[in-house]
Amino acid sequence: MDLKGYARLSEDELADRVRRLKREHDAVILGHNYQIEGVQLVSDYLGDSLRLAQLATETDASLIALCGVRFMAESAKILNPEKKVILPSESAGCPMADMIDGDDLRRFKAAYPGVPVVCYVNTSAEVKAESDVCCTSSNAVDIVRALEAERVLFVPDRNLASYVATKVKAEVIPWQGHCYVHDMFVVEDVELARAEHPGVPIVVHPESPPGVIELSDYVASTGGMMKLAAEHDELIVGTEIGMVERMNREYPERDYYPLSSFAVCRNMKMTDLPRLAWALEHEQHEIEIPAETLERARGALSRMLELS
């Protein structure tokens, strides 16, 4: 069936179709916490970037459908070169990952000879290939500490770099990238949320600006936020809206409030059920990475998993 045909089916028909196609193609669906609800509900596993990378190394399925953005599907491929990995929406990239490329990083390294490079997983395979070790928002502090270096280059997120710098002894030299979704949180959002929900703790993602992080009670990856939800009846949640929707769905008797209801990652919302069904039927869009880049990127990602 073509994409238009799938688009004519109802939500229930699409969910049934996705489940059937998944069995027929021996596929596993790995979904990020920011995916739309319909995609979250048909995913075999939901998680943050670290969990999705770990799950990709644990699955027996021969086809991995990564419902998220391109760097997540690339990470799954890098860790499983023999498996077919597909990204249902070909144009679902991460704008932050696009803020640095291989040439940029080579120039950055040349300006700081011998200083190790820690790259956030929100990067292309080419940038990972130029890096010493990767990190995610849940292990960035531990990874930088484990390096025991006096200085590290940290790419591409300046906000995550600045958060890590408050927790480690090393000097953290940042690349000036940012996430357009988290970078728009402002101190006034925190003040307003506290006034509206007195006494309710605030958790924010470390991609948020330093002033917002300073005023919050917790800083966590999306996986860490789900753990906090298990422990709190109420939370104000400073990240993409899909995370807050998952919390309220899984704990219907509790209340999780978005720090801002404008925090929507357009790229994460590009995957919908018609595209997922079409992608499973046609096993598209396949992730392909040149062998040499993949091998070098695998070194940085594997090193992260060993240290996690």
Query: Residue numbers of the site for ligand 13P (CB under 6 A)?
Result: 33, 48-49, 122, 136-137, 179, 205, 207, 221-222
User: Would you say 15 or 96 has its CB closer to ligand SF4?
Assistant: 96
Cβ at position 61, least distance to ligand 13P in Å: 21
212 forms part of the interface with ligand SF4 (CB under 6 A): no
Q: Which residues pair with 227 in a beta bridge?
A: none
220 forms part of the interface with ligand SF4 (CB under 6 A): no
Cα end-to-end span (Å), the chain: 42
- Indicate which of ligand 13P, ligand SF4, none lies near residue 43 (CB less than 5 to 8 Å, by partner kind): none
165 forms part of the interface with ligand SF4 (CB under 6 A): no
48 forms part of the interface with ligand SF4 (CB under 6 A): no
99 in helix, strand or coil?
Answer: helix
Rounded alpha-carbon distances, angstroms, from residue 178 to 38, 97, 199: 28, 9, 30
- Indicate which of ligand 13P, ligand SF4, none lies near residue 49 (CB less than 5 to 8 Å, by partner kind): ligand 13P
Q: For ligand SF4, which stretch binds (CB under 6 A), given 174-182, 247-255, 272-280, 296-304?
A: 174-182
Measure the CA–CA gap between 21 and 222, rounded to whole angstroms: 29
199 — phi, psi (to 5°)? 85, -10
265 forms part of the interface with ligand SF4 (CB under 6 A): yes
260 forms part of the interface with ligand SF4 (CB under 6 A): no
113 in helix, strand or coil?
Answer: coil
The first and second tokens of residue 17, run together, are 């179709």
Rounded alpha-carbon distances, angstroms, from residue 23 to 61, 194, 283: 10, 47, 13
264 forms part of the interface with ligand SF4 (CB under 6 A): no
Interface residue with ligand SF4 among 133, 268, 289, 294 (CB under 6 A) is 268
- Indicate which of ligand SF4, ligand 13P, none lies near residue 86 (CB less than 5 to 8 Å, by partner kind): none
203 in helix, strand or coil?
Answer: strand
Cβ at position 34, least distance to ligand 13P in Å: 7
Cβ at position 222, least distance to ligand 13P in Å: 4
Q: What is the DSSP letter of 97?
A: G
Of 67, 94, 59, nearest in space to 272 by CA: 67
179 forms part of the interface with ligand SF4 (CB under 6 A): yes
Rounded alpha-carbon distances, angstroms, from residue 95 to 48, 92, 293: 18, 9, 21
One symbol per residue from 91 to 130: x for binding ligand SF4 (CB under 6 A), - otherwise; what is it?
A: ---xxx-------------------------x--------
| N residues, the chain | 308
- Is the previous residue joined to 95 through a cis bond, with omega within 30 degrees of 0? no
159 forms part of the interface with ligand SF4 (CB under 6 A): no
Point out which residues bind ligand SF4 (CB under 6 A): 69, 94-96, 122, 179-181, 207, 240, 265, 267-268
